[in-house]
Chains A and B, each alone.
Chain A
């Protein structure tokens, strides 16, 4: 009798696991495609809940859980990373970082893990890059790559231009919303502040429903 109850309880527990939990188990087992399906389902649900804010009696609130959505995005990125689909992984990591900054979520460990991974597997710097490209590139590549680049005179000029552009953009630009991934490590505080400001604007931007 007790055994039957235990089995039933186990079945109940496994059946009641959330999509994220199921996906994590599948990831641990190495079934990345199935896991991605669960992550994507969770993301779709959160996305649908975010369409229209609900009136709670005091204010309009969105009924989605940003942390779950962020975990789902990260999970999709991780599944691509495990499958060595680097472009898709980069895309979803970029999406994850922007999303977590937008909602002021505390995913510092995950973000630093992604930063380290990007430093190891980052995109190759192309010679035809323009001044603005260099802004992105200098933020994405590691210090060792910078040393290699500095050996070339042309690259030096471009780097100087990039540094000037970064300084000027920090002075002039208010807060780019979708450029979070491009922030260097030392500007994390700045980007977090801008994300917080965006978060504060959320209430102002919210459409008023009837």
Chain B
């Protein structure tokens, strides 16, 4: 990183020419490719869930974090968007007879952003180097979620997913930063994939 900074500084002090502009353009493209994020769990594409439709009514009975805040609407929205089930709704009752399955979840999540050495260096140059688009923030995070699937009040199965993620961000990064909502949507899609595989894909008798 320090070596990169030295090169950048040298480039800044060089006379601007056609070659320099090309170098800069290349550096910016490289920076855009370098920054981004990575997860240990894949993002299931909607295309993978397209054929998994089942005519079941599914209820969401709360998806709580460590502080017992409810994020069920996010899961509900994602479930409805993926169209795996014929109908989804919130319910307070795990044994609600209106639903074929009721999902409940508990999760823990954290995301810690921290500024890197490039950002600290940029402070002494009036933040001008940050315009290069090189990453100046590193993000570490983790989400652990446990879903419980109930059928008429009886616990059928539990699914547990752990996702560790990191991200590098600059002021010019175009794609969205990892967030709790995005993370929950990712984990909800994993649940839908596994539910459709376990309950409907292989004709498991309940």
Contact = CB atoms under 8 A, between A and B. Distances in A.
Contacts of B69: 46-47, 50, 69, 99
A202 B66 CA distance: 7
A181 B152 CA distance: 17
Given A52-B111, A94-B92, A209-B112, A62 B97 contact: no
Nearest to A62: B67
A98 B97 contact: no
Given A50-B65, A50-B67, A209-B110, A136 B92 contact: no
Contact of B94 (A136, A177, A209): A136
Q: Chain B interface mostly helix, strand, loop or mixed?
A: strand
B87 interface: no
B92 A181 contact: yes
A126 interface: yes
Interface string A117-137: 000000100101110110111
A129 B151 CA distance: 11
A136 B95 CA distance: 7
B111 A132 contact: no
Interface string A55-75: 000000010101001000000
Nearest to A125: B97
B62 A98 contact: yes
A133 B108 contact: no
B108 A207 contact: yes
Given A64-B67, A132-B95, 8 more contacts: A50-B65, A98-B62, A103-B68, A129-B95, A133-B95, A178-B62, A202-B66, A210-B114
27 contacts: A51-B110, A51-B180, A52-B112, A87-B91, A90-B93, A91-B90, A91-B91, A93-B92, A94-B62, A98-B64, A99-B68, A102-B68, A103-B68, A128-B152, A129-B97, A129-B153, A130-B154, A132-B95, A132-B152, A132-B154, A136-B153, A137-B95, A177-B68, A177-B106, A178-B64, A178-B68, A210-B112
